[in-house]
Amino acid sequence: MAKFELKLPKMGESVAEATVTNWLKKVGDTIEMDEAVLEIATDKVDSEVPSEVSGTLVEILFNTDDVVQVGQTLAIIETEGGSPLTPQGGTTADVENQPAQQIENQVSEIIDIVSQASPSGTEGLKFFSPLVKNIAKEEGISLAELESISGSGKDGRVNKEDLLNYIKNRGSQTSAQSIVAQPVATPNSQLPTSNSQPVSVNGGDEIVEMDRMRKLISGYMVASVQTSAHVQSFIEVDVTNIVKWRDRVKNTFEKREGEKLTFTPIFMEAVAKALKDFPGMNISVDGDFIIKRKNINLGMAAALPNGNLIVPVIKNADQLNLVGMAKAVNDLGNRAKAGKLKPDDTQGGTYTVTNVGTFGSVFGTPIINQPQVGILALGAIRKVPAVIETPEGDFIGIRQKMFLSHSYDHRVVDGALGGSFVKRVAEYLEAFDPNREV
């Protein structure tokens, strides 16, 4: 028998930790190779950690709501065969030969180090998981008050149950006839609490707690509005040539490439070209500094089956041809709907596109995805009467048109740049060659 250490895998360059949200297996369960053992969550994506071996789960090293660093051992799986290497370069057999007290001391040291690590920008003497901190912010509990709560976790750590019990007792004197709406917690801003309005609750009303992703989205949206001076520009685009071209080639494209050809990759291609023309839109703001992004990484807002929203990112979008763009769009869209995105799939975006036309909206005023400075909303394509100019004179005809809605950060993007950028996108779309081959 040998023991295998199941570790938290690397999930992307900018992802250093994750929170354990649910153990799918318990000690004593048999596990097959590639079978999911537990669920984890980063600040944007929920995912599963599969086993790299077949065997029996003999030890779980972290509890639900614990924060785990990339590379740390999550659990021990007992397998048939040889002795796998431990992170120190020895074998599990070496670990088995160590005195039990020595192993316990080593584990305690690791947990102490993790417990004492304080996330960037967080002050205080105790360590709290992201889940606990989010709940505390939503309930208006200060860091000092949070540190005063007695925890039932290892070394007195406060877990979700401890905090919920505290909140229940803390609010026992609150009137049962009303619930005070608290400001949504935001990741990078402090919101005023003095404008909170009481919300009346009637006997037939149902109170449903937001799920974890909706709370995160809520916080990010409020933070973006608090951070950026949003302004919008709108432009109507004639996409008749694109519609005719897609109708002509979509069946051939699907047979040849095994991929459906939607309008989205065509629009994303035009946006990537426009960003190369106007690099001032491909930037981020960090305090009083502007970061000019080298790569063009397009975020693609995607609606999930549960009604939530996620933004997977097409990396180096300007380097893809239309076929490559279509494959990237379909891959990310399908994996988003199936809940199979990896944390790195949502990182590194430099500009975002959202297709509000999917749901019939003619145009919209989207909120910027921080720390980016612009987001483009694609409206629904409609048949409309339009004036068509010809050498013989003007006449009225039926054209396929849509609106582009561009929201941008007026702190660093003025109307000339914001308007010129969206106009350039429109020019690329209207100049689309209807005889183009894929």
Return the closest-CA partner of residue 405 out of 235, 224, 266. 235
The answer to whether the CB of 382 falls within 8 A of the CB of 362 is: yes
Distances (CA, A) of 262 to 301, 313, 329, 431: 15, 17, 9, 18
Give 273's contacts (C-beta < 8 A, 6+ positions apart).
Answer: 318, 424, 428
| AA letter at 71 | G
Burial of 77 (0-12, 13-18, 19+ CB in 10 A): buried
Bridge partners, residue 19, by sequence: 41, 67
Cα 72 to the center of its chain, rounded Å: 23
Q: Catalytic amino acids?
A: 410, 414
Phi, psi of 71, rounded to the nearest 5 degrees: 95, -15
d(CA 310, CA 116): 32
Q: Say which residue the tokens 């749901």 belong to.
A: 359
Q: Say which residue the tokens 């070496």 belong to.
A: 94
Say whether 201 sits in a helix, a strand or coil: coil
Q: How many CB atoms lie within 10 A of CB 395?
A: 10
d(CA 235, CA 339): 34
Angle of CA points 92, 95, 99, to nearest 5° = 155
* E-state strands within 315-427: 351-354, 374-378, 382-390, 393-409
Radius of gyration of the chain (CA): 26
Sign of CA dihedral 281, 283, 286, 291: negative
The encoded tokens of residue 287 equal: 């305090």
Q: What is the DSSP string of 148-168?
A: TSPP-SGGG---HHHHHHHHH
Question: Angle, to 10 degrees, between the axis of helix 212-227 and the axis of helix 130-138?
Answer: 70
Strands 309-310 and 313-314: unpaired
